[in-house]
Structure 1
């Protein structure tokens, strides 16, 4: 059965309020966790690096998504009506921004995968000018904005995004005559970055397999990478570039590569979680699986997309640098944060 043509309506008050409570939990957890990520990067210079610029971009998108969830909470707490219990423009605007932020997330993950490929394959050539990084970040917002807003405005039949009378939430309008075309365009918006992600991590995997034997052999040289920070990798790379000692160059290169592979695994975990969270909604929205039960699961599949915004900080916490800064912040040991930024120094001095 076509989810758009089904007569089913998400009317059960228990299910609606249960979903609203889930949204509240996701919103609170996502806002707290992603704010922790942002503050960590602001306060610790050890976390100032190219990879974490995009991590911050991802966290900003997640914060915006979580901050808009209360709109749907209010709507879900009320019974289904022909019009939402909030202003129609609020419903439409929150839906558009949420869709854009999901697009920003997948484009940011694609950008991180490109960076991971560069640092693993060309560790000495990953320093990029600031103007290029700014344009790159801007693109992660402009591309999904154009792909989501332009079709919604251009397609006949009115704006595609807004209050969905079938499910009583803010999303696409299931009654819109061109909803299938819009969903197809949305799928393309997410499919292209996912292709980039798969290609980059496949190349990284091949590279890792190619060098694994060399890295095992190098372990006999007592190489330890536990003290290499992300912020120091560029300086180490410059040192390696100019040193004439072959053994030192070989040793330091392996330190960098091993460190970058650890980071790559962590970011690959973020990608896998994102795909797992968005996959259920893609399956039901694109009618890959059909039936009454599928139609009833649509609201919960949508909740999985929002869940992704809340779980990312827990994945970042697996990284030792983030984990240490998180712990020091939560225990208010501000003076023990490694390589404090000027902001942290100002705040600690002001407090004293």
Structure 2
């Protein structure tokens, strides 16, 4: 969540209470739905061995980051509903809420990069390479690096005096306080980091698309060369194997998560382009926080394995452990 705070501190609660109350109510709904949905993802992977794939380890990491963000949304609502121009709890609580939200967004976007890299590796590399990547140690290192980067880039700059995390009386949000002249540098650092990560994610998915297109073209050419053979059209092998089709379908679903993430940040990007501050900044921040809620919905509607486990868990039916899949 990236928010630009106006420098004027004398104007208290410039954004009307009506808008802040609307956003506060929506954030409370986000918290309930997000906590339930992301907890469902985490528990599903724990109880169902079929879901314990290497990609889903990263999906769980993404769900945990989103769960953490949703946990602190009620604290954002408390600030939005304050009519005193101050955060109703201790200022350190507000600073912690802002830090957690920033870390969550940074962790989410870098987890999306890792997921895109793993999907590209699984689909384009050899079976030997595929298995070589699927080791608990390598994935644990990857997850650890993601959290180190997220915490470092979101917390270290304020510690060094570049930006101050706290309460904005202008918007009623726990984000960047309006007491530091270097706040803009912190915003630029956040934006550059997230933009670079999303660019890398797109690069990996574009390479997956090119690989699949080339693979299909090679199959079509090979089948055309065998047109004079005795193999009937109905007995010809498919252009891609069943395993590859499954990998590609999973990749499509994960790419949808990336697209939703980018759409959530689109409002903030537009807000950067438009000079000044307005109530639109408040709503754009709310849209960014919505990203922590939508991912479980995507898995529940589009991912067949998660969908099956979700239904069984919600209906209190036993979940089959299944077999381990890489």
Say if 2:15 and 2:278, in contact at 8 Å, map to a contact too.
no
CA distance in 2: counterparts of 1:42 and 1:64, whole angstroms: 18
Aligned to 1:111: 114
Aligned to 1:4: 6
Aligned-pair CA distance for 1:282: 3.3
Q: State yes or no: 1:84 paired with 2:105.
A: no
Say if 1:46 and 1:339, in contact at 8 Å, map to a contact too.
yes
Say if 1:223 and 1:255, in contact at 8 Å, map to a contact too.
no
- SS class of match (1:78): coil
Say if 1:80 and 1:167, in contact at 8 Å, map to a contact too.
no
Question: Which structure 1 residue ranges, 5 or more long, are not aligned?
Answer: 225-250, 342-352
Aligned to 2:206: 202
Deviations 1:41-83 (A, max 9, x none): 11111001110000000000000000001111112122141x3
CA distance in 2: counterparts of 1:266 and 1:108, whole angstroms: 15
Aligned to 1:315: 298
CA distance in 2: counterparts of 1:35 and 1:103, whole angstroms: 20
Distance verdict in 2 for CA 1:302–1:220, change over 3 Å: farther
Q: State yes or no: 1:303 paired with 2:290.
A: no
Match of 1:42 among 46, 57, 60: 46
Aligned to 1:270: 257
Distance verdict in 2 for CA 1:58–1:143, change over 3 Å: same
Alignment of 1:66-145 (within 5 A): 66-81=70-85, 83-124=86-127, 125-127=129-131, 128=133, 129-145=135-151
Deviations 1:236-289 (A, max 9, x none): xxxxxxxxxxxxxxx9x72222111111100000000001112212332xx312
Say if 2:87 and 2:167, in contact at 8 Å, map to a contact too.
yes
Worse-superposed segment, 127-136 or 320-329: 127-136
Match of 1:29 among 27, 33, 40: 33
Say if 2:51 and 2:305, in contact at 8 Å, map to a contact too.
yes
Distance verdict in 2 for CA 1:68–1:340, change over 3 Å: farther
- SS class of match (1:272): helix
Matched residues, number: 305
Question: Which structure 2 residue ranges, 5 or more long, are not aligned?
Answer: 224-232
Worse-superposed segment, 20-29 or 168-177: 168-177
Aligned-pair CA distance for 1:18: 1.1
Structure-2-length-normalised TM-score = 0.87
Aligned-pair CA distance for 1:92: 0.3
CA distance in 2: counterparts of 1:173 and 1:200, whole angstroms: 36
